[in-house]
Structure 1
Amino acid sequence: MTSTLPDAPRRWTQAPGPRFAAKTALDALCWVLAIVVAQLVRFELEYERVALVGTVLLCVIAVVAQLIVAYLWSYYHGLHSFGSFYEAKQLIVVALIVTAILIAVNAVFGVAWGVPRSTTVIAFPFAIVFMGITRYVKRLFVDSRSRPIEAQRVLVYGAGALGMSIIPRLMRDPQSPYLPVGVIDDDPSKRNFRIASVAVVGTGADLVAAVKRTGAQALIISIADVDNDFIRQVSERADEAKLRVLVVPPIDTMLAPGTGESAPSLRDLNVEDFIGRNTVDLQVESIAGYLTGKRVLVTGAGGSIGSEIARQVNQFGPAELVLLDRDETGLHTTQLSISGHGLLDTKEVVLADIRDLPSLMEIFEDRRPDVVFHAAALKHAPMLEQYPDEAWKNNVLGTLNVLNAARAVGVGTFVNISTDKAANPTTVLGYSKRIAEKLTAWMSAQETDARYLSVRFGNVIGSRGSAIPAFTAQIEAGGPVTVTHPDVTRFFMTIPEASKLVIQAGAIGDPGEVLILDMGRPVRILDVAKRMIAASGKDVEIVYTGLRHGEKLHEVLIDTDEIADRSKHPKVSHTRIQPLDPALLDIAVWRETIADEGAGTHHLVQ
């Protein structure tokens, strides 16, 4: 039986090529020069005292020893990039071993050859210096000639750890389309700082001047966990300087297996980078154990939020995941994203309408879920203003149907998806979702005493019907981009973040509560439109259409009568809402609510 040491040096598996010959020749020359210089130093530059034959013999032994030791250590095998610190460490080890061999040889033959014993000791540092110089010069030469002529000149914003990782990789990769020509950093102490020969050329306030000085065509933001406000400010300055703005991928992506020494995959700014605020880490993995091994049902599983909830729930190993929706196309897409196929012939997909109580009861009796995420809803506010009875049938009675079905089979956790428009409601959508919250609270307090709660959040970037896809389509069509009012603001969050909150709510929420994510500061819709137009590079007009019926200038997350606290998570608020007995539901009162914009409807929406 044979064994292999884990750190055993690798040998050449094919004949050495020109690079090997060049490296060995350079190192051989360095040893010859080191020994000659050592002799001259030893004899205080009296070259006539140098023993020529003995010096030649010592040089030959040094060259042979270098080749043998380098072979045994696979020094020229390319284990480390040429001129790197890792190669320098190996160079010193090999040189020390060669020096030890020379000392031993010189101790035996030095007197006969006329070579002082101190020569080999003096030669060691000179050999290291000479070999280091050859590598440095070669690296400068390679860096200077490897960049494609068409490489885009870029400034790198950030001289921290990420910048010090990005810039050398961009410089070393001959295929990189970007050539760093300067660094931007707001730290005054880095005024004369250099990274891989690229100098700091100013702060963010000096961006326009830096572009004129360096001829840069793009700006790379290389700051980890950068704040969205900062990105917006930098992006505005870049627009003034006519710079394309790029961002680096997350550090874990850069360090993923297979990335090697190549330049990182940079990307253009997208709307998520400058809208809203930094994504909140809700640490779903640590608290979502209530899903593992349980039967989970998601209504509205074909929608943008419901499908993402289903995908995230699937990661926690539920005993069964039931996808319920009346949209067969949406179910097909969701099943494809989870199972890798969209055959629609398995029990995980259920085609049903939440308005149909008998059908829901049959499904719940058959599948008997432990956890329900209720994401099915009508949510297009302008459409519901035209057809308010549809909001009543779907968002109010449909939610009550799902609640009744859940109660019938003893569902332990029920999470109702709500919206910020349910706080101080002024639209049909807001009224209907607030009533759904109140029904959920009633079912928890009066009927089940189980964890039945609601989750309230603002606009979701990329969801169906949100402003972002609409702006994208309008910009692609050449405009105009329509904005209701120049001062209108909204809260924003990403689809994955919204879905994580929903999942987390099932673990940290108490029965009957409404949970609200800290969504930071609201964002002006006009600013979003302007940034998206600027990023597109097109000249697109913005047209103001006026606020629609019931539309708020500024949304709120907490109702004026609600008191919120953050006792369980610094980014999640908990509040209570007055339960509503379903026996009090009356479509006539609902229609009065819509007609009078909420007047006299205390028992429904207050």
Structure 2
Amino acid sequence: MSVKNWLWSTHVQDETRARGESIFVRFGVQYLTDAVAWALAIVAAVVFRYDFVVSRVHWVPVLFLCLVVIVLQLLLGWTFGVYRGRFTYGSFEEARAVAYTVVTIALFSSVPVVIFSAQIGVPRSLMLISGFIAYGLMGAVRYLKRMYVTQRMRPDNAQPVLLLGAGFMGSLMVRRMLTDRESEYIPVGFLDDDRSKRNLHLMGVPVLGRFKDIVKVANSTRATALVVCVARADSNLLQRVTTMADSVGLKVKVLPELDDLNDGRTTLKDVRDLSIEDLIGRHPVDTDVASIADYLSNKRILVTGAGGSIGSELCRQIAKFGPAELMMLDRDETGLQQTQLQISGHGLLDSTDVILADIRDADALERIFVARRPEVVFHAAALKHLPMLEQYPDEAWKTNVLGTLNVLRAAMTIGVETFVNISTDKAANPTSILGHSKRAAERLTAWAGKETGHSYLSVRFGNVLGSRGSLLPTFQALIAADKPLTVTHPDATRYFMTIPEACQLVMQAGAIGSPGEVLILDMGKPVRILDIARRMIAQSGKSLEIIYTGLRDGEKLHEELTGVGEAGAHRTHALISHARVLPIDPSRLDRSEWQRRWDDDQAETAIVGIERGSLGGVNR
């Protein structure tokens, strides 16, 4: 059954239950209607055949034939699913099933009629003519019934909306809106730039113009909102739509993910207001599912930092590919519980899929890896707050540098085939403790890839929207508290990406990366933090002040994705670039030299993992 008919069927069944009808009663009435259609068709056909001279009709064989056909209609209608609730009123699927039933009956009953026509006094063409008439009557009844049900389902007191896009998603949404009495929206027209759709009507809703006609169409229809029904709407399109919609006072609303719509997991209540995440971080991702499945399906997979924002989303997406075992490791038991809730539907924390451990504990990690023997590792555990690590650089060293080394060594001990280290854009030309520590982690991962020859690689990207403690939740909390928003510098820019998009590309990178590489995700254009603050204040409807605090120690005005001197930068995927950093042997790491160099010149983009006795950085 198609998505459209599934949705329609759901509405029809709800309507049936609301009227207190049983499925048996409903389809019993439908069968009786079809039986009457056959009787009328046969009588009409024989009357037409004898030019309305009723006295020439042999009524006994005709009535007997009616009885036989009515019985066959029940048997074959059940066989073809007409009376088993498989199809919806007036759908193409139902029309096809009814056609199969009528044609089979007509052919089956025509054989004795043709052979014994002279003896029983029935015209040989009777069943051919009556078959066409019966099918027409059945179709007409179903069409009228569908029109009646559709009219009953139309929402009352709903706000008029325009739909941008008259394609698959547009047709899906207009059908939902018109067949849900609880819908908050009633569609009054479409906007679509496809010229071939300019005269199109979907369920009676017309295409009223192109997107550039939004002002004229909004004024003529008195619509209050614009629903974006474009499957792959990126941030650039949504920004343009918002600008145009704001000029005519239309609220912009967006749909859930296309996969959720196709699977029927959403309702009209999931149509939501445009968020800041949509405007700055919505990047369509073409995921090569086959290549991802090759290295994830039926494999034992371990994710460190599984209780965090990135780690938990990675676990959720990895679970879709059917791993043999998904091991979620973190030192935060509450975070693990939340992740388990998303994956397993419970947070009992009593199963082996959750592992409570700290990546700083090398011995514990080795025991876990030897006992559980993962084949693929995603290393997302890290400390990430720049100002905090500026105050406590030792913590960055212990977790981001030595913790990563502990995970790498445990993985190398048991021969892990694929190791993906989650890095950050702050590792490119680092100027902060966070950036230097993550740069060191990249170089250690490159060393492991060189030593093992396996796919040990790093993936680097910028800020993720919605992660704990990130920019947007901070701004939202300040707005909720009616406090001023703090921005470091009016010209400061950052790269942004949503968590699901970043995780999709991380998994893709794991499939295409080579040993020792750093894969850099395309984050689009950097966004001014000031613009985000202003837009969020505007969306809140409040009048709040913006305070400039100045750049903090180690903080850049503009982030970078590629470091100076990174060799071999090239692209094999539309949104992923490849580069290389120099590997560093763990035996040459020296914590005191690393700190001394940082203290001497923290503004200079130099080194990530100071080698004993030399600077050894790739940027020197």
Return the TM-score normalized by structure 1: 0.77
Structure 2 residues not aligned, in runs of 5+: 1-21, 608-614
Question: Which one of 409, 417, 420 corresponds to residue 425 of structure 2?
Answer: 420
Question: Which one of 323, 345, 356 corresponds to residue 350 of structure 1?
Answer: 356
Find out whether 1:72 has 2:79 as its counterpart.
no
Other-structure match for 1:161 = 168
Other-structure match for 2:16 = none
Query: What amino acid is aligned across from residue 521 of structure 1 in structure 2?
Result: K
Find the structure with the greater CA-based Rg: 1
Question: Which one of 470, 475, 478 corresponds to residue 474 of structure 1?
Answer: 478
Aligned partner of residue 275 in structure 1, secondary structure: helix
Q: What CA distance in whole angstroms lies between the structure 2 residues aligned with 1:311 and 1:548?
A: 36
Post-superposition CA distance 1:424-448 (Å, at most 9, x none):
2222222222233233334554x65
Q: What CA distance in whole angstroms lies between the structure 2 residues aligned with 1:558 and 1:469?
A: 27
Q: 8 Å contact 2:285–2:504 — kept in the other structure?
A: no
Query: What amino acid is aligned across from residue 306 of structure 2 in structure 1?
Result: A
Aligned partner of residue 459 in structure 2, secondary structure: strand
Question: Which one of 232, 241, 247 corresponds to residue 239 of structure 2?
Answer: 232
Other-structure match for 1:144 = 151
Q: 8 Å contact 2:328–2:336 — kept in the other structure?
A: no
Q: 8 Å contact 2:306–2:381 — kept in the other structure?
A: yes
Structure 1 residues not aligned, in runs of 5+: 1-11, 44-49
Q: 1:523 to 1:73 in 2, by over 3 A?
A: farther
Post-superposition CA distance 1:230-271 (Å, at most 9, x none):
233223333334334444445544443799xx9796444445
Taking the TM superposition and a 5 Å limit, the aligned residue runs for 1:32-111 are: 38=48, 50-53=52-55, 67-74=70-77, 79-90=86-97
Other-structure match for 1:198 = 205
Q: 8 Å contact 1:167–1:195 — kept in the other structure?
A: yes
Q: 1:594 to 1:308 in 2, by over 3 A?
A: farther
Find out whether 1:386 has 2:388 as its counterpart.
no
Q: 8 Å contact 2:176–2:268 — kept in the other structure?
A: yes
Other-structure match for 1:221 = 228
Post-superposition CA distance 1:533-563 (Å, at most 9, x none):
56x6633536142442243333221113224
Other-structure match for 2:3 = none
Aligned partner of residue 281 in structure 2, secondary structure: coil
Other-structure match for 1:7 = none
Bigger mean CA deviation after superposition, 579-588 or 89-98? 89-98
Question: Which one of 596, 599, 602 corresponds to residue 601 of structure 2?
Answer: 596
Q: What CA distance in whole angstroms lies between the structure 1 residues aligned with 2:257 and 2:58?
A: 56
Aligned partner of residue 208 in structure 1, secondary structure: helix
Query: What amino acid is aligned across from residue 380 of structure 1 in structure 2?
Result: H
Shift of 1:337: 4.5
Find out whether 1:328 has 2:330 as its counterpart.
no
Q: 8 Å contact 1:364–1:405 — kept in the other structure?
A: yes
Matched residues, percent identical?
A: 46
Q: What CA distance in whole angstroms lies between the structure 2 residues aligned with 1:490 and 1:252?
A: 29
Q: Give the count of matched residue pairs.
A: 580
Q: 8 Å contact 1:453–1:513 — kept in the other structure?
A: yes
Aligned partner of residue 200 in structure 1, secondary structure: strand
Post-superposition CA distance 1:321-375 (Å, at most 9, x none):
36243x3333444455556444368595233351x55665666676666654433
Bigger mean CA deviation after superposition, 50-59 or 213-222? 50-59
Q: 8 Å contact 2:337–2:349 — kept in the other structure?
A: yes
Return the TM-score normalized by structure 2: 0.76
Other-structure match for 1:551 = 555
Post-superposition CA distance 1:469-509 (Å, at most 9, x none):
22333344445444444543322233344344444545543
Question: Which one of 457, 461, 472 corresponds to residue 457 of structure 1?
Answer: 461
Q: 8 Å contact 2:155–2:178 — kept in the other structure?
A: no
Aligned partner of residue 356 in structure 2, secondary structure: strand
Query: What amino acid is aligned across from residue 539 of structure 1 in structure 2?
Result: K
Find out whether 1:307 has 2:312 as its counterpart.
yes
Q: 1:585 to 1:593 in 2, by over 3 A?
A: same
Find out whether 1:538 has 2:541 as its counterpart.
yes
Q: 8 Å contact 1:249–1:264 — kept in the other structure?
A: no
Alignment root-mean-square deviation, CA? 4.5
Q: What CA distance in whole angstroms lies between the structure 1 residues aligned with 2:189 and 2:299?
A: 55
Query: What amino acid is aligned across from residue 204 of structure 1 in structure 2?
Result: F
Q: 8 Å contact 1:38–1:120 — kept in the other structure?
A: no
Q: What CA distance in whole angstroms lies between the structure 2 residues aligned with 1:476 and 1:71?
A: 64
